[in-house]
Amino acid sequence: MTPLHHKLLMSSYTSGEAKNIPPYPGPNRMRDCYCTVNLDQEEVFRTKIVEKSLCPFYGEDFYCEIPRSFRHLSFYIFDRDVFRRDSSIGKVAVKKEDLQKYHGKDTWFQLQPVSADSEVQGKVHLELRLSEVITDSGVIHNKLATRVLECQGLPIVNGQCDPYAAVSLLGPSRSDAKKTKMKKKTNNPQFDEVFYFEVTRPLSYTRRQFDVEEEDVDKLALRVDLWNGSNLKFGAEFLGGVRVPLRVLGQAGVHDAWYFLQPRENGGKSVKVEELGSLRLNIIYTEDHVFPSEHYNPLRDLLLHSANVEPVSASAAHILGEVCREKQEAAIPLVRLFLHYGKIVPFISAIAHAEVNRTQDPNTIFRGNSLTSKCIDETMKLAGMHYLQVTLKPIIDEICTEHKSCEIDPVKLKESENLETNRENLRQYVDRIFNVITTSGVRCPTVMCDIFFSLRESAATRFQVDQDVRYTAVSSFIFLRFFAPAILSPNLFHLRPHHPDPTTSRTLTLISKTIQTLGSLAKSKSESYMAAFYDYFNEQKYADAVKNFLDLISTSGKWDQKSIETPIMLKEGFMIKRAQGRNRFGMKNFKKRWFRLTNHEFTYHKTKGEGALCSIPIENILAVERLEEESFKMKNMFQVIQPERALYIQANNCVEARDWIDILTKVSQCNRKRLSTYHPSAYLNGHWLCCKLSADTASGCTPCTAGLPANIQLDVDGDRETERIYSLFTTYMTKLTNMQEACGSKSVYDGPEHEEYSSFVIDDPQETFKTLKQIVSAVQTLEQQHTQYKRDKFKKTKIGSQEHPIGDKSFQCYIRQKSESSTYSI
C-alpha cells in the first residue's frame, strides 16, 4: 500500500467569526483581533485583522494540503494593541481523531485559555525494566531501570529548543528526581540515558523468584517531564510530560513504548471559559488511503472517458457534479485528475458546450456556480498561479508598500483627506493594473488559452446575433473570477504573505471593482461615487484594449510564458540557509537570510534591500527537493541543487517549505539539464547520509519528483485524486441510487418529474443509467478493498509503537492489549 495521505479543506463556502471576546481593560474597550490556523503549534495561516470589535467576523476560507502528521488542529485568537504587540486571548484545539465529528458542520467552539503548560506537542520513547539485585549480605533489592531514548516533534519556543528530561519515581512517601543532559538546538533530541531507582520491598519478602506484587506497584508511577533550557533569564519552560504507572510492567517486568506528551495537570491559570468568548468554524477534513495504481483502473478509465461520452451529461465526471452537494467538491479532484492525464481541455470543452446549449440568455452565460464554472476556476488557480504572480505581484507589492489613501466614498472620507487627491491616486493605480493585465496576453498559459478558445467558439455559435458574447464568455472568467479576486485578496493567491492593512485593503477593493467593470465591457449599476469614477475610463481605448486582450488569450495555444524578458519578483522572505561548501560542520554555518526569487535568478541577501550575497541563475537550478530531517535534525528543509553543490534551506513552516519548492520547481522545470535522481540526505563527514557513497559527485540515489507540464504549478497524484472521487461517490451513494431511479422513471413515463428527481440533468436516460451502473460496480469493488485494508491494519496496529504512541485515551487499550497478549502467550 502507498502511504496514507492527508488533506485539510477549510470550506470555501462558509465563514468564521468570533463573539463575546472580553473587552480591553481601559477606556477604549474594543480590540483589534485576528485568528491563526495551526498544526499543533506551527502557524500555517493568518486572517486579516478586524479592528475595533469584540465580535469580529472574518469570513475567510483556507485550503491546505497537510504535509506531515499532527495531533491537533488549533485556532488562536490574538489581539494587537496600539504598539503593534500581539497577545493571545484564547484558542480552540481539535484533536485529529475528533475532526470527523465536526466535518462539514458550522460549529461554535468555546475559546480555551492559552498557557505554556497546555501548549504541548511531541512524543517520547521510554524503556522500563524492573529487576532484582542481591547484595553481598544476601539482601534482595529491586531496581527500576528507566531509559529515556529520544523525543520527536517537541515545540520550538521563540525560535529555540534546548531540551532536557526530568525523570521522577513517584509514590506515597517518595519523589526521586534525576535529569538528562541538555541537548542544544534540536526539537528531536537523542538522549539514550539510563536512570536507576531502588524499589524497596517489605522485610518479609524472601522469595528468590521475582514476582511483582500488585499492591506495591499500584502505589508507584514514573514521571518524565521535558523542559526547554534555552531561556536562562526566565528559567526552564515546560514542554510536556508523561506519567507511567508501574503496573504496565506486568509479569515480564519490561515495558518499551512511545508516549504522546501531555499537558501538566492543573498547570494553567484558573479562568472561566465563558469569559473568553467563542469561535465559529466549518472544518472539512479528509484522510485518503491511497492504493497502488492498478486498483483504480476501472473508475479512472470511466472518468477519463467522460469527454467522449454522448451526451456528456451521461458521463461519470458530469454525474459526480450532479450528486455532490457542492459543485466545488467535484471540481477539485476532477480538474487535478484531468490535468494529470492531459485531458482537461477536451473535458471542459464538452461540459461547457453542453451548458452553453442549455443557456437561453447570452447575458447569463457562465454566471452560475455550475460544474463548468467551478472546473474552469480550479484550472485557472492551478495553471495560472505563476501567470498571476508575474502579472500582478510587482504592482500589488507597490500598492501595499506606499499606503496611499484612495477612498472616494464621501461618507468614509477622513477629515484630513482630499477627495480629488484620492481619486487621482486610485485612477493611477487602476490605469497601471489595467495596462499590465491587457498587455499580458502573451504570458497566458497555453491550457487557459485553449479553454478560452473553446468557450468563445461555443458561445459565438450558440448566440450568433450577439457580437459581444464571444468576449463576455471569456471575460466572465479571466476578469471576474481570476484577476479581480486576486486583486481583492492577494494573500489567497500567494501575491502577499498576509492580509493588507485596512486602508490598503479598501484601496484594493476599489481597484478590483473597477477592473471587474472594465473587463465586463458593460456599464455597472453601482454606487453613485463609483459611477462618477468610472467616467474617467469611459473612452473607447479601454474597451478596445480589453477586446484585443480577450482575442489574444482565446487564440488556441501558441504563446510561451518563458518569453518574459523583464525580471519579475515572484516570491521573497526570510529563511535559514546553510553555507554552500567552505565549512561542512557545525551549527555556526546556519544563518538567517532574505531570499528573493525572480523569473531570472534566485538570490539571498543579508537583509531586505541589501545587495545579493549569492545569485543562482534559474538555468543553473537542476532540481528542487526536500531534505530529510535526519541530515541536520531540522524540520522543513529543502535543497536547491546546482551543478557544483546544493544549497540547503530551512523554511519557517511546512506549508511555506512546500510553496517555495513548488515555485522554484515551476520556474526551473524547463531547464535542459534537470536531474533525474538526487540525494535526499546531505553530504556530511565524507559521505552521503542516504546511500553512504563517499564521492561528493556521486549520482543521486533517489528519483527526482516528477516534473509537471510547463503551465501547471502543483504536483498532482492521479491515484490520490481518483481515491478522493471514490470517497465522494461513496458519500453520495444514496443520490446515485436516486439518479438510477430517475433514469428509469424518465424512460417509461414522460409526464411531470418526481420532485426528488427534478434536480438531476438527464439528457439520455439509457446512457446515463449505463454509466451509473458502471460507477456503482467500480465503487463497490474499491469499497471491499478498503474494508479488507482497514481490517488488516487494525490487526497490525501496536499501541505504544512509534506510529501509534500511547496517549491519554489509548492507555487503557494498551493495558488491555498487553494483558490479552500475556494471557494467550502461556
What secondary structure does DSSP assign to 182-229, as a single string?
P--S-SS-EEEEEEEEEE---TT---SS----HHHHTT-EEEEEEEE-
The domain 123-203+216-260 having CATH identifier 2.60.40.150: the answer here is yes
Asked whether the domain spanning 123-203+216-260 has the same topology as the one spanning 7-112+276-288, the reply is: yes
C-alpha cell at 254: 519490561
- Report whether 182 contacts 229 (CB < 8 A): yes
Q: Tell me: the pLDDT tens digits for 457-467?
A: 999 898 988 88
Q: How far is CA 761 from CA 201, 328, 420, in A?
A: 79, 17, 53
Sorting pLDDT into bands at 50, 70 and 90, what band is 208? very low
pLDDT of residue 749: 54
Residue 228 pLDDT greater than 70, yes or no: yes
User: pLDDT class for 584, splitting at 50, 70, 90?
Assistant: very low
CATH architecture of 362-554: Orthogonal Bundle (1.10)
Question: What is the per-residue pLDDT for 520?
Answer: 87
Residue 272 confidence (pLDDT): 54
Average model confidence (pLDDT) across the chain:
82
Beta strand extents in 331-449 (DSSP E only): none
pLDDT at 769 over 90: yes
Q: What is the mean pLDDT of residues 304-327?
A: 93
Alpha-carbon gap, residue 345 to 504, rounded angstroms:
37
CB 446 within 8 A of CB 425: no
Q: What is the mean pLDDT of residues 543-549?
A: 90
**What is d(CA 653, CA 655) in angstroms, rounded to the nearest whole number?**
6
All 3 cell numbers of residue 795? 490487526
- Taking the C-alpha atoms of residue 4 and residue 1, their distance in angstroms, rounded to an integer, is 9
Residues 67-80 have a mean pLDDT of: 85
Instruction: Give me the sheet containing 221-228, strands edge to edge.
Output: 174-179, 163-171, 221-228, 237-245
Mean of pLDDT values over 136-157: 82
* CB-CB neighbours of 574 under 10 Å: 13
Q: Of residues 263 and 583, which shows the higher confidence score?
A: 263
Q: Which helix (H) or strand (E) holds 546?
A: helix 540-553
Look at residue 171 in the predicted model and tell me its pLDDT.
Answer: 76
Pick 811 or 608 by higher pLDDT: 608
* Cβ burial, residue 757 (10 Å; 0-12/13-18/19+): middle
For the chain, the structural domain boundaries read 7-112+276-288, 123-203+216-260, 292-358+717-825, 362-554, 569-669+671-703
**Is pLDDT at 11 greater than 50 in this prediction?**
no
- Beta strand 646-650 with 590-598 is unpaired
Which are the contacts of 725, defined by CB distance < 8 A and separation ≥ 6? 299, 303, 320, 330, 333, 334, 337
| CA–CA distance, 370 with 322 (Å, rounded to integer) | 10
Residue with cell 479592528: 51
pLDDT at 99 (0 to 100): 87
pLDDT at 790: 79
pTM of this prediction exceeds 0.95: no
Q: What is the pLDDT of residue 732?
A: 92
Domain 569-669+671-703 coded CATH 2.30.29.30: yes
Which of 147-156, 216-225, 314-323, 444-453 has maximum average pLDDT?
Answer: 314-323
Q: Compute the average pLDDT of residues 540-551.
A: 90
What is the rounded end-to-end Cα distance, in angstroms, of the chain? 34
Better-scored residue on pLDDT, 746 or 182: 182
Lowest-confidence range among 305-314, 557-566, 720-729? 557-566
Calculate mean pLDDT across residues 274-294.
Answer: 84
The DSSP annotation for 309-333 comes to SSSGGGSHHHHHHHHSSSHHHHHHH
- What amino acid occupies position 663? I
Q: Which of 107, 110, 79 is nearest to 93 (CA)?
A: 110
| pLDDT interval class at 821 (50, 70, 90) | very low
Look at residue 824 in the predicted model and tell me its pLDDT: 29
**Number of alpha carbons in the 13 Å side-chain half-sphere of residue 148:** 30
Q: What is the mean pLDDT of residues 647-664?
A: 88
- The pLDDT value given to residue 763: 87
pLDDT, tens digit, 9 for 90 and up, residues 340-363:
898 999 999 999 999 999 888 888
- Indicate the SS3 state at residue 819: helix
pLDDT digits (tens, 9 = 90+) for 377-402: 999 998 898 899 889 999 999 999 99
Confidence at residue 803, expressed as pLDDT on a 0 to 100 scale: 78
pLDDT at 817 over 70: no
pLDDT digits (tens, 9 = 90+) for 88-122: 899 998 888 888 888 878 899 999 888 766 678 88
How many other β-carbons are positioned within 10 Å of the β-carbon of residue 6?
Answer: 18
**Across 34-43, 66-75, 193-202, least confident range:** 193-202
Q: How would you list the strands of the sheet with 33-39, edge to edge?
A: 42-46, 33-39, 72-80, 86-95
What is the dihedral sign for C-alpha 813, 817, 818, 819? positive
Q: Supply the pLDDT for residue 637.
A: 93
Confidence class of residue 14 from pLDDT cuts 50, 70 and 90? very low
pLDDT single digits (tens) 409-428: 988 888 888 999 999 999 99
Fold of the domain spanning 7-112+276-288 = Immunoglobulin-like (2.60.40)
